[in-house]
């Protein structure tokens, strides 16, 4: 049983890597800031590290927050096989979406599958439908907010840098502030779990002081590096160079910005979303070992996090190109400055939503940010056919996952001997 469910968990992580991780790297590849091979290497390493080191504290309540676990107290075997149905259902939908090149939310797929399983097991009242409704509202709010932030950032960059008579000089003035904004935004995503780790408790400083020191050092190093890059680029430009060539050179500087933002997105995504793949398996493992239903947060072993991390890396490497192409090239043509604004806007949106306690999707935020930039550049350049397909896949994710979860669990109850406490 454990071997079978561990294979299913790896398969779900594989599909998560091919879809969810791939779309988070799509803007970097589409803007040519990094190559596809570099994206696979960067995301592979940082997603795995983020998942293993800091995936413990995220999505612990996924297996117990959507469906009332008290209903399964006398039938832990039902919850065990229900989580098997969740692994199968979410995997199938993510697999299909990736095959079609559609970026969907792994969180929504897993939540929908759990809701369908709970509904089939105990009826309509077993599911926390209020949470499902809140998630559905995020389909509209998340891309709208992210798109507005990205459009504003992109417009400010062009007014303050690209549209000036001396854009390279303007960029030198902007770089310290952009460095602080970048390190500050992603620092809020990455630094809190780092400074809270037991390995840093020997340092006789408050955690906020450690975080401030790391963030300040990162901002200074980034600023000096980028300023040096501008000087080296500027030395290669002749006085007769036209603005088109100068703009190209400025984009190479923003490519450095985007390389760092891509690293942060991959690390933060690995630490946050690995739970979508391994939380159902962790519930199965707990029930198998204790013969009891987990009512509180799940204790996820390190090897389970590593197993999920490996699945994510494998899926990204084998099949991630399809969704990367959709995000990076299928909506609008991207430059590094636009890709940088999209990733920064995505991070800001996720942070804002997290502070409000709203469940949102990185996929939705990133697509909204890319569309916002396209609207500022030239709204006619937006590929509406691609956008329509993505929107339909968003709306369909929870209903399809719910139906798959219910149907798969119903099939398991019929064809497998789910009775008593036969774990």
How high is the pLDDT of residue 292?
A: 86
How high is the pLDDT of residue 90?
A: 93
Query: Which residues lie closer than 8 Å to 366 by C-beta, 6 or more apart?
Result: 23, 24, 26, 27, 103, 146, 327, 342, 343, 346
How high is the pLDDT of residue 86?
A: 94
Buried b / exposed e along 165-195 (16+ C-beta atoms within 10 A):
eebbebbbebbbebbbebbebbbbbbbebbb
Evaluate if pTM is beyond 0.95: no
Residue at 422 is within a domain: no
Q: CB of 147 within 8 A of CB of 368? A: yes
- Distance, CA of 112 to CA of 339 (rounded, Å): 31
- SS3 per residue for the chain: CHHHHHHHHHHHHHHHHHHHHHHHHHHHHHCCCCCHHHHHHHHHHHHHHHHHHHCCCCCCCHHHHCECHHHHCCCHHHHHHHHHHHHHHHHHHHHHHHHCCCCCCHHHHHHHHHHHHHHHHHCHHHECHHHHHHHHHHHHHHHHHHHHHHHHHHHHHHHHHHCCCCHHHHHHHHHHHHHHHHHHHHHHHHHHHHHCCHHHCCCCCCHHHHHHHHHHHHHHHHHHHHHHHHHHHHCCCCCCCCHHHHHHHHHHHHHHHHHHHHHHHHHHHHHHHCHHHHHHHHHHHHHHHHCCCCCCCCCCCHHHHHHHHHHHHHHHHHHCHHHHHHHHHHCCCCCHHHHHHHHHHHHHHHHHHHHHCCCCCHHHHHHHHHHHHHHHHHHHHCCHHHHHHHHHHHHHHHHHHHHHHHHHHHHHHHHCCCCCCCC
Query: Which residues lie closer than 8 Å to 375 by C-beta, 6 or more apart?
Result: 147, 151, 382
Query: Could you tell me which residues are beta bridge partners of residue 127?
Result: 67
Query: Could you tell me which residues are beta bridge partners of residue 150?
Result: none
Residue at 423 is within a domain: no
Query: What residue numbers bound the domain in which 149 lies?
Result: 2-415
How high is the pLDDT of residue 214?
A: 56
Residue at 276 is within a domain: yes
Each of the 423 residues of the chain gets a pLDDT tens digit; together they read 788 889 999 999 898 888 877 666 777 887 777 787 887 788 788 778 777 766 665 455 565 668 888 888 888 888 899 999 999 999 999 999 988 888 888 888 988 999 999 999 888 888 888 878 877 777 788 899 999 999 999 999 888 888 887 777 787 788 787 777 777 777 666 666 555 555 445 455 455 555 555 555 655 655 555 555 554 444 333 333 444 556 777 787 788 778 777 777 777 667 666 777 788 888 888 888 888 887 766 677 888 888 888 888 888 888 877 777 777 667 777 788 888 888 888 888 877 776 665 667 778 888 899 899 998 888 777 888 888 888 888 889 989 999 999 999 999 888 776 544 444
- Distance, CA of 170 to CA of 162 (rounded, Å): 8
Q: How many domains does the chain have?
A: 1
Residue at 420 is within a domain: no
Q: Which of 69, 3, 27, 6 is nearest to 343 (CA)?
A: 27
């Amino acid at each position: 049983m454990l071997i079978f469910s561990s294979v299913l968990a790896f398969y779900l992580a594989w599909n998560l890597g091919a879809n969810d991780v791939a779309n988070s790297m799509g803007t970097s590849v589409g803007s040519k800031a990094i190559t596809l091979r570099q994206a696979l290497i960067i995301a592979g390493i940082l997603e795995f590290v983020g998942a293993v080191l800091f995936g413990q504290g995220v999505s612990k309540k996924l297996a117990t927050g959507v469906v009332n676990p008290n209903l399964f107290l006398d039938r832990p075997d039902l919850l065990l096989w229900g989580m098997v149905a969740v692994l199968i259902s979410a995997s199938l939908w993510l697999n299909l979406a990736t095959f079609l090149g559609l970026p969907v939310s792994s969180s929504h797929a897993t939540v929908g599958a759990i809701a369908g399983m709970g509904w089939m097991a105990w009826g309509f009242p077993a599911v926390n439908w209020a949470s499902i409704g809140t998630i559905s509202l995020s389909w509209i709010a998340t891309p709208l907010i992210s798109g507005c932030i990205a459009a504003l950032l992109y417009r400010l960059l062009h007014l303050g840098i690209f549209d000036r008579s001396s854009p390279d000089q303007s960029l030198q003035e902007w770089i310290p502030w952009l460095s602080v904004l970048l390190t500050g935004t992603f620092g809020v995503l990455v630094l809190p779990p780092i400074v809270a780790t037991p390995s840093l408790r020997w340092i006789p400083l408050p955690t906020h002081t450690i975080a401030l020191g790391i963030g300040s050092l990162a901002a200074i190093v980034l600023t000096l590096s980028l300023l040096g890059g501008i000087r080296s680029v500027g030395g290669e430009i002749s006085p007769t160079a036209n603005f088109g060539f100068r703009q190209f050179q400025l984009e190479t500087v923003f490519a450095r910005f985007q390389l760092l933002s891509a690293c942060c997105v991959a690390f933060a995504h690995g630490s946050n979303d690995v739970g979508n793949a391994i939380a159902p398996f962790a519930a199965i493992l707990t029930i198998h070992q204790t013969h009891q239903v987990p009512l509180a947060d799940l204790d996820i072993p390190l090897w389970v996090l590593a197993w999920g991390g490996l699945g994510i890396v494998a899926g990204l490497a084998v099949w991630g190109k399809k969704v990367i192409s959709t995000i990076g090239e299928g909506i609008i043509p991207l430059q590094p400055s636009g890709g940088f604004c999209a990733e920064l806007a995505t991070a800001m949106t996720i942070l804002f939503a997290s502070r409000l306690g709203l469940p949102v999707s990185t996929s939705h935020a990133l697509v909204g940010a890319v569309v916002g930039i396209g609207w500022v550049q030239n709204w006619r350049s937006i590929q509406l056919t691609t956008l329509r397909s993505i929107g339909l896949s968003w709306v369909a994710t929870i209903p399809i996952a719910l139906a798959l979860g219910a149907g798969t669990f119903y099939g398991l109850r019929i064809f497998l001997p789910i009775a008593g406490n036969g774990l």
